[in-house]
């Protein structure tokens, strides 16, 4: 009996030990795994939305400082210039005034489909200074630009199959002028641009909801998004495309010129909040955990689409 009891205890301990080891070896949940440095993501949105950039108004010293900051980050992550020194300058008139803008364009050569492009975009300009108050635009759209840097970091370890253009557009707040100039004066053949992924306001939402617009116009993208399983504490919703009774965002940001050229797009954004286009759109009001998961969601969806032959 003693021998049988010892053997039973031995096997019980083995099972408990094995079970504990398996628990320890379980991979982290998806929401805990990021393919970019989340601390850098937060540091970049904090920097870009600081008073030092004076609201990043097109044509101002603050706007130029933001442009230089983006170029510095592209170089850090070995992103190649698509245009001369990454810069695509353009002139335009808005609200009866002439402006000089500069798009900042980086390039990553695809490993398989080099002649087919995905443009990942965000705008770096904001409202500047009004009535001696700085409109820092943390959510609108320092959040999108910092996410571009997260993409750049992601590509260091996960080279894309399609060629990618990282486009930091200027003058979105002045009639979506930067992205319009880009598509009307495309450096690469327009017919080779297969998709635009645009990010504008992705760092805060009280209901943890992130919207994606564009699936109503493309069955393939609708299928990808409908099958995508979001991580914990964030809900990805299709809508705001003019077909669901919600405010129509189809032409609301830098994806609009792509859509007008019949280029498929996915626009990621949140509902307007109380600080939208106000001097209170500051870093202190973003929601860091939501923001990290939102960026991770966009990168994960890109990774799925990049594996497809567009």
Express each pLDDT in 209-242 by its tens digit.
999 999 999 999 999 999 999 888 999 999 999 9
**Tally of CA atoms within 13 A in the half-sphere of 65 that contains its CB:** 16
Measured distance CA(201)–CA(197) in Å, rounded = 13
Per the DSSP assignment, residues forming a β-bridge with 92 are 99
CA distance 213 to 242: 10
CB 125 within 8 A of CB 170: yes
With respect to residue 199, please indicate whether it lies within any of the assigned structural domains.
Answer: yes
How much of the chain, in percent, has pLDDT values that exceed 90?
87
Residue 18 lies in a domain: no
151 within a domain of the structure (yes/no): yes
Please choose, from the candidates 230, 237, 238, 234, the residue with its C-alpha nearest in 3D space to the C-alpha of residue 289: 234
Q: What is the pLDDT of residue 310?
A: 86
The answer to whether 88 and 102 have CB atoms below 8 angstroms apart is: yes
208 found inside a domain: yes
Q: Is residue 181 part of a domain?
A: yes
For residue 69, being part of any structural domain is answered with yes
Give 272-281 pLDDT, tens digit per residue.
Answer: 999 999 999 9
Q: What is the token pair recorded at 56?
A: 């990043």
CATH number at residue 239: 3.40.630.10
- Give the separation between CA 8 and CA 208, rounded to whole angstroms: 50
> What does the pLDDT look like over 182-198, one tens digit per residue?
999 999 999 999 999 99
pLDDT tens, residue by residue, 124-149: 999 999 999 999 999 999 999 999 99
Q: Which of 178, 176, 159, 168 is nearest to 78 (CA)?
A: 159
Residue 67 lies in a domain: yes
Model pLDDT, residue 232: 87
Are 40 and 149 within 8 A, CB to CB? yes
Residue 237, classed as helix, strand or coil, is strand
**pTM to 2 decimal places:** 0.90
In this predicted structure, what is the pLDDT of residue 32? 53
The DSSP symbol for 278 reads: S
Q: Which domain holds residue 95?
A: 28-306
Residue ranges of the chain whose pLDDT lies below 50: 1-31
Alpha helices in the chain (DSSP H): 2-25, 38-48, 61-76, 143-157, 177-184, 219-227, 256-260, 288-306
Tell me the C-alpha distance between 96 and 300, whole Å.
42
Q: What's the total number of domains in the chain?
A: 1
């Amino acid at each position: 009996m003693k021998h049988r009891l010892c053997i039973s205890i031995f096997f019980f301990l083995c099972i408990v030990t094995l079970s504990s080891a398996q628990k320890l070896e379980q991979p982290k949940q998806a929401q805990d795994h990021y393919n970019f440095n989340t601390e850098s993501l937060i540091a970049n949105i904090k920097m870009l939305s600081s008073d030092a950039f004076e609201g990043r108004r097109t044509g101002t010293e603050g706007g130029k400082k933001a442009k230089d900051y983006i170029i510095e980050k592209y170089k850090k992550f070995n992103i190649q210039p698509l245009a001369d020194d990454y810069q695509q300058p353009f002139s335009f008139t808005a609200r009866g005034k002439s402006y000089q803008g500069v798009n900042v364009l980086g390039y990553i050569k695809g490993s398989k489909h080099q002649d087919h492009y995905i443009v990942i975009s965000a705008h770096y300009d904001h409202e500047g200074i009004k009535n001696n108050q700085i409109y820092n635009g943390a959510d609108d759209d320092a959040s999108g630009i910092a996410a571009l840097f997260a993409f750049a970091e992601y590509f260091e370890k996960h080279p894309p199959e399609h060629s990618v253009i990282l486009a930091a557009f200027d003058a979105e707040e002045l009639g979506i002028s930067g992205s319009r100039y880009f598509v009307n004066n495309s450096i690469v053949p327009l017919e080779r641009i297969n998709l635009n992924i645009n990010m504008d306001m992705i760092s805060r939402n009280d209901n943890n909801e992130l919207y994606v617009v564009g699936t109503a116009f493309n069955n393939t993208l609708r299928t990808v998004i409908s099958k995508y399983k979001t991580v914990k504490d964030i809900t990805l919703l299709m809508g705001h495309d003019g077909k669901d009774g919600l405010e129509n965002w189809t032409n609301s940001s830098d994806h609009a010129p792509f859509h007008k050229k019949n280029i498929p797009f996915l626009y990621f954004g949140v509902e307007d909040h109380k600080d939208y286009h106000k001097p209170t759109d500051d870093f202190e009001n973003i929601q860091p955990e939501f923001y990290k998961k939102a960026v991770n969601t966009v990168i994960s969806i890109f990774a799925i689409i990049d594996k497809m032959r567009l």
